[in-house]
A and B are shown apart, each in its own frame.
Chain A
Amino acid sequence: MPQIFHRSTNTLSRATIFGAVFVVAALGWVAMEVQRSPYVTYAGVRRPQPVPFSHEHHVAGLGIDCRYCHTSVETSSFAGIPPTKTCMNCHSQIWTNAQLLEPVRASYRSGESLQWTRVNQLPDFVFFNHSIHVNKGVGCNTCHGPVDQMPLMYQQESLQMEWCLNCHRAPEKNLRPRDQVFNMRYQQPTGINPVVVDGQSFTDQIELGSALVKKYSVRNVKDITSCSTCHR
């Protein structure tokens, strides 16, 4: 009886079986990477806006506090998008003829809101509250990144659940004194650059964070990583 398969089939089949292990492993790895890439998360992607509003110019250049526009950040779940009036506080006086600002003036005339493109968007099944974070000493730029260096707004972090949990599982790694929350230039304490809280000087973030956890009565990790803390 003639051979059904050529001699090379032996080698080929061995190579296929052996290779399949690597192909499957590689596919798994690619899936993991894609799932965390900006392609899926939109981290770092500048979104088009009706007016190219520059946080860099307004925050770093002019020194406007976050709360001047995002008024409800300390008291509400939503930080607040300013009404056109807030823009016009200044822009009725300066750059009144700038073509770029025409949509703002049009909105002011007609009373219709500007339709900004939301950048930091959480899914609806997550109950996120700005006020609790701000009041427990989570700085704006801890989550939003260096907003004072963003000519066009982008989302700094992945906003994936593992990212949330990174902090909820160890809040002391990121807390800062409450009066530093809106300071975009705040640095975590080091030996050269200590942070003083209630007269006590801290040179290490974990020590500072642990003290703040106690001072601000941050609930324990078990509580703040419970499902129903965020998924109510």
Chain B
Amino acid sequence: MEEQYKMTEDAQRSPVIEPGYTFGTVTEKISAIVLTRPASNGWFLGFGIAFMLTMMMLYAIGYLFLKGIGIWGANIPIGWGFAIVNFVWWIGIGHAGTLISAILLLLRQSWRNSINRFAEAMTLFAVAAAGIFPLIHVGRPWLAYWLFPYPSTMGVWPQFRSPLMWDVFAVSTYATISLLFWFIGLIPDMATLRDRAAHPVTRIIYGMLSMGWRGSARHWHRYETAYLLLAGLATPLVLSVHTVVSFDFAIAIVPGWHTTIFPPYFVAGAIYSGFAMVLMLAIPIRKIYGLEDFITERHLQNSAKVMLATGLIVAYGYGIEAFMGWYSGDRYDAFTLWNRLHGPYAVPYWSLLSCNIFIPQVLWIRKLRTSPVALFLISGVILVGMWLERFIIVVVSLHRDFLNSSWGMYYPTRWDWMTFIGTIGMFLAAMFLFLRILPAISIFEMRTLLPEAEVKAE
């Protein structure tokens, strides 16, 4: 019975790794990207553009430090603007990495082995991009360390009752655990690279990073324990980080923010955008580096299904928000809904509904779920949609609150745009470097997927 089930399953699904590979060829194929393959002109072009965008971001931030946040469009009543929109967007994108690496590990979803490494890297770079925004938004960034509780000469602690304070802890914990998880997962692969590297300097660098890994049974035992423990630690973070981020809004009384649906709906949205980013990166990477055998149709399909499911949760969130606008009988809530649909920001709101709810429904079609080009485009649409969602939440809720005398409009300035586009550049530049410096796919975890790795009863 079980055999039969397994067979039909296998027949339906494309494999996690195409047949015909051995331990040696898997290792060779992945490590060659780092060790032997020369950097192509395309890589230099892509990295160059991303690097220039990073410089643009630094320029925008430098000017910001010189002039203050008056150069941005954020002003009362919209005190949050792009900085918080982008922060929430980036931190949400980061979530897919932890979901793939920790939760799918605990659920024994072995298909994750092909994509967890670069999804984790993506998480780290996304969190780094996210972290920039609150820091530069505090107005006097050189005093941003005041956010941390330390025995200061002021004799006061930060306001622990503020969700912004919780944010500091949620995000910094998340960044730390993600980094550790990523690094520990890299150790056996660093050792592989150390052993295969030809140049002595390369050998020393990878040797130091592999922390004396020799692949002994004791090493593997400790490694597995540590990895599992970290996965256990990281799992609640997938849910908690964006929950805390959503508290930044939900704790406030502003109509459009003050709602209990926010935590689950934020987490779903985070995973939604995270998987979209994973696909947007995986599809070109597998094409350019010829990794279609490792990142197969199965991975694309599974990611698409996750997006479809989380997208529907997000749609449910929108639905509940609209329903509560009517059902609560609260005129301010009702007005928020009306204002979204018909107010000055109606175009972004309708685009948001199209990008996040209507267009992704094509993922129900199997053919589109397996088409890399279609998936790439849909992922792009979802990323735009999720950015618009945060824009709607931050800007539209703030621009018309209880008193019409304090209504206003928000117009981002070129500095807002330069900083935002610059962080995309920074993120991509980091990804480009990562591809050339570290194995983008976990070598040893891929080897466990091979038939050779199966332990047969004698």
Contacts and interface: CB of A to CB of B under 8 A. Distances in A.
A27 B51 CA distance: 34
Nearest to B197: A4
Nearest to A166: B155
A5 interface: yes
B19 interface: no
Contacts of A4: 194, 200, 203-204, 207
Contacts of B154: 160-162
A165 B156 contact: yes
B152 interface: yes
Interface in B212-261: 212
Nearest to A165: B155
Interface in A55-74: none
Main secondary structure of the interface of A (DSSP, over half): helix
A162 B152 CA distance: 8
B153 A36 contact: yes
Contacts of A32: 151
Interface string A145-172: 0000000000000101111111000000
Contact of A162 (B153, B195, B204, B212): B153
Nearest to A17: B211
B153 A10 contact: no
B156 A1 contact: no
Interface residues of A, number: 17
A35 B207 contact: no
A160 B207 contact: no
A158 B153 contact: yes
Contact of A161 (B155, B200, B204, B212): B155
A164 B156 CA distance: 11
A160 B156 CA distance: 11
Interface string B152-175: 111110000000000000000000
B156 A161 contact: yes
A4 B210 CA distance: 12
B219 to A, nearest CB: 14
Nearest to A5: B207
A162 B151 CA distance: 10
Contact of A35 (B153, B155, B200): B153
A165 B151 CA distance: 14
A13 interface: yes
Contact of B212 (A1, A13, A158): A13
A161 B194 contact: no
A157 to B, nearest CB: 12
Interface of A: 1, 4-5, 9-10, 13, 32, 35-36, 158, 160-166
25 contacts: A1-B195, A4-B194, A4-B200, A4-B203, A4-B204, A5-B204, A5-B207, A9-B212, A10-B212, A13-B211, A32-B151, A35-B153, A160-B153, A160-B154, A160-B155, A161-B153, A161-B155, A161-B156, A162-B153, A162-B154, A163-B155, A164-B155, A165-B155, A165-B156, A166-B155
